[in-house]
């Protein structure tokens, strides 16, 4: 005999409300949609790489491209390429599985726990045992920071964050939050081809506008710049509101002129002003730690997200952790940086590997990366 569970239905109702609220925000932001810019950016990126390597690139609808070099060819869709097997991609999308496998192989990851709304009590126990802020996020499929809540400290915050995450995936993951900055290491067959620092997105006060108005102005600027600043708009969500509240701010507050205000803790919506190429700052041991994560999971093209307070030393010394492994990493972050003079055009070595091009036509190549690492 099954008994009626009020708490279960309350969770379901709140989840539906969160889902509807998220959908309404997406509809309201349609005027600031970067979808077309997204495809245009990737076309420019791959055409630049094709020109460098004397590759013929044919565009099709839906963001698809066919690259030809002699008798060899490969399919591309925006930033997706034919390097990793479909099963490998599915493994990488399963965050608890990735953390478990990496931990078993001695790769430093934060303590974590997977749960659903039906057994949220286990997540509450995990939170109390950590005695530190935690991150709550969807455990499967989700990418781009969707459904993520940071600095979760109380049961009340946990419940709210879990309901928010469950709007994207019924299986939820909670992990101890790691202090420091986020770094994206991009590996191709075990070789580091670029590294960038990704700080949280921020807006600059003008002395007149509220933070909400500054966010709208920033989003409008991103659209008008046709993807040169970012390929995502800033979304006012749980992470945004919590970040502002933690700093004693709100969406209706008017910052002082030239005051920098962080509007998110997650970095997925960061733009060119918050991203910086730092390839020459990474020590060899830290490079090997990131490569180890890609190797353990068998990922050829891997975006390894590292969080640490000091990127100049190994993770064992800094207490840093690997917080994410991306098997279909976004490549635009490596082009949208505040120091374009140090930019690595990562599409070039990727296209070269896809078509097995063994020549010296590439201007930005492995030797360039090695020079940066040794500088």
Q: Are 110 and 321 in contact (CB under 8 A)?
A: yes
- Which CATH number does the domain housing residue 160 bear? 3.30.1490.20
Question: Could you tell me the pTM of the whole model?
Answer: 0.86
| Segment 56-66, tens digit of pLDDT | 999 999 999 99
Instruction: Assess if residue 73 is contained within a domain.
Output: yes
Q: Residue 146: its pLDDT value, please?
A: 81
Q: Residue 158: its pLDDT value, please?
A: 96
Q: Say whether both 291 and 334 belong to one domain.
A: yes
Of 237, 264, 291, which one is at a domain's C-terminal end?
264
Q: What are phi and psi of 300, to 5 degrees?
A: -80, -50
Report the distance separating Cα 334 and Cα 346, nearest Å.
Answer: 7
Which helix (H) or strand (E) covers residue 186, if one does? strand 181-188
Q: Residue 27: its pLDDT value, please?
A: 45
Is residue 130 classed as helix, strand or coil in its secondary structure?
helix
Q: Are 275 and 198 in contact (CB under 8 A)?
A: yes
Tokens representing residue 179 in the block:
């202090």
Q: Residue 180: its pLDDT value, please?
A: 95
Can you give the C-alpha Rg of the chain in angstroms? 21
Instruction: Assess if residue 104 is contained within a domain.
Output: no
For the purposes of burial, counting CB atoms within 10 Å of the CB of 360, is it exposed (0-12), middle (13-18) or buried (19 or more)? exposed
Q: Residue 12: its pLDDT value, please?
A: 59
**Both ends of the chain: CA-CA distance in Å?**
70
Q: Residue 364: its pLDDT value, please?
A: 45
Instruction: Assess if residue 33 is contained within a domain.
Output: no
Which domain, by its residues, includes 170? 111-177
CA angle 196, 33, 151 (to 5 degrees): 50
Of 242, 264, 286, which one is at a domain's C-terminal end?
264
Q: Residue 371: its pLDDT value, please?
A: 60
Residue 152 pairs in a beta bridge with 134
Instruction: Assess if residue 191 is contained within a domain.
Output: yes
Angle in degrees, 0-180, between the axes of helices 35-53 and 347-354, rounded to the nearest 10: 60
Q: Residue 367: its pLDDT value, please?
A: 55
Position 1 confidence tier, pLDDT thresholds 50, 70, 90: very low
Average pLDDT, the chain: 88
Q: What are phi and psi of 122, to 5 degrees?
A: -65, -35
Q: Which residue carries 């140090």 as its tokens?
A: 342
Report the distance separating Cα 64 and Cα 60, nearest Å.
Answer: 5
Is residue 321 classed as helix, strand or coil in its secondary structure?
strand
Stretch 345-368: mean pLDDT: 76
Position 232 confidence tier, pLDDT thresholds 50, 70, 90: confident
Q: Say whether both 79 and 141 belong to one domain.
A: no
- Which CATH number does the domain housing residue 302 bear? 3.30.470.20
Reading phi first (left if > 0) and then psi (alpha if -120 to 50, else beta), residue 235 is in beta
Instruction: Assess if residue 105 is contained within a domain.
Output: no
Q: Say whether both 327 and 337 belong to one domain.
A: yes
Q: Residue 361: its pLDDT value, please?
A: 45
Q: Say whether both 281 and 341 belong to one domain.
A: yes
Position 171 confidence tier, pLDDT thresholds 50, 70, 90: very high
- In 225-283, alpha helices (H): 238-246
Q: Residue 80: its pLDDT value, please?
A: 96
Reading phi first (left if > 0) and then psi (alpha if -120 to 50, else beta), residue 68 is in beta
CB burial string 95-122: b at 16+ within 10 A, e below: bbbbbebbeeeebbbbebbbbbbeebee
Instruction: Assess if residue 86 is contained within a domain.
Output: yes
Q: Say whether both 194 and 207 belong to one domain.
A: no
Report the distance separating Cα 120 and Cα 100, nearest Å.
Answer: 20
Q: Say whether both 186 and 293 belong to one domain.
A: yes
Stretch 341-353: mean pLDDT: 96
375 or 356, which is more confident?
356
Tokens representing residue 311 in the block:
């990127």
Virtual torsion, Cα 174, 176, 181, 182, nearest 10 deg: -40
| Segment 181-231, tens digit of pLDDT | 999 999 999 999 999 999 999 999 999 999 999 999 999 998 888 777 888
Q: Say whether both 194 and 206 belong to one domain.
A: no
Q: In total, how many domains does the chain have?
A: 3
263 or 26, which is more confident?
263
Q: Say whether both 297 and 154 belong to one domain.
A: no
Q: Say whether both 89 and 190 belong to one domain.
A: yes
Q: Residue 167: its pLDDT value, please?
A: 87
Report the distance separating Cα 15 and Cα 97, nearest Å.
Answer: 25
Position 284 confidence tier, pLDDT thresholds 50, 70, 90: very high
- In 54-167, alpha helices (H): 86-93, 95-104, 120-130, 155-166
Q: Work out the number of other CB atoms within 10 angstroms of the CB of residue 308.
A: 24
Instruction: Assess if residue 49 is contained within a domain.
Output: no
Q: Say whether both 320 and 370 belong to one domain.
A: yes
| Segment 296-344, tens digit of pLDDT | 999 999 999 999 999 999 999 999 999 999 999 999 999 999 999 999 9
Q: Say whether both 227 and 241 belong to one domain.
A: yes
Residue 280 pairs in a beta bridge with none
Instruction: Assess if residue 3 is contained within a domain.
Output: no
Q: Are 300 and 84 in contact (CB under 8 A)?
A: yes
Of 247, 264, 281, which one is at a domain's C-terminal end?
264
pLDDT at 45 over 70: yes
Q: Say whether both 287 and 303 belong to one domain.
A: yes
Q: Are 182 and 164 in contact (CB under 8 A)?
A: no
């Amino acid at each position: 005999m099954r008994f009626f569970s009020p708490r279960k239905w309350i969770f379901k109702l709140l989840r539906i409300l969160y889902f509807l609220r998220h959908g309404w925000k997406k509809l309201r932001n349609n005027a600031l949609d970067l979808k077309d810019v997204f495809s245009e950016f990737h076309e420019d990126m791959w055409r630049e790489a094709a020109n460098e390597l004397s590759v013929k690139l044919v565009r099709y609808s839906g963001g698809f491209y066919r690259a030809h070099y002699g008798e060899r060819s490969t399919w591309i869709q925006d930033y997706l390429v034919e390097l990793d097997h479909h099963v490998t991609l599915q493994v990488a999308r399963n965050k608890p599985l990735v953390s478990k496998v990496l931990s078993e192989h001695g790769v430093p990851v934060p303590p974590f726990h997977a749960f659903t709304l039906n057994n949220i009590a286990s997540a509450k126990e995990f939170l109390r045992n950590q005695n530190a802020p935690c991150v709550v996020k969807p455990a499967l499929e989700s990418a781009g920071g969707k459904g993520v809540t940071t600095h979760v400290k109380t049961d009340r915050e946990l419940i709210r964050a879990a309901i928010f995450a469950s709007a994207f995936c019924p299986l939820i993951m909670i992990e101890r939050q790691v202090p420091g900055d986020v770094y994206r290491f991009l590996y191709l067959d075990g070789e580091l081809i670029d590294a960038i620092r990704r700080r949280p997105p921020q807006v600059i006060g003008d002395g007149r506008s509220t933070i909400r108005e500054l966010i709208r102005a920033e989003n409008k600027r991103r659209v008008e710049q046709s993807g040169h600043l970012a390929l995502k708009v800033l979304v006012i969500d749980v992470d945004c509101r919590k970040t502002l509240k933690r700093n004693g701010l709100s969406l209706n507050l008017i910052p002082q002129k030239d005051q920098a205000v962080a509007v998110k803790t997650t970095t997925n919506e960061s733009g060119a002003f918050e991203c910086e190429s730092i390839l020459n700052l990474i020590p060899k041991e830290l490079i090997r730690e990131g490569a180890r994560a890609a190797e353990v999971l068998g990922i050829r093209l891997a975006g390894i997200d590292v969080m640490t307070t000091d990127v100049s030393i190994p993770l064992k010394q800094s207490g840093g952790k690997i917080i994410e492994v991306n098997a279909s990493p976004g490549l635009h972050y490596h082009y949208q940086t505040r120091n374009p003079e140090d930019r690595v055009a990562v599409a070039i070595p990727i296209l070269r590997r896809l078509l097995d091009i063994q020549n010296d036509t590439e201007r930005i190549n492995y030797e360039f990366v090695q020079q940066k690492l040794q500088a």
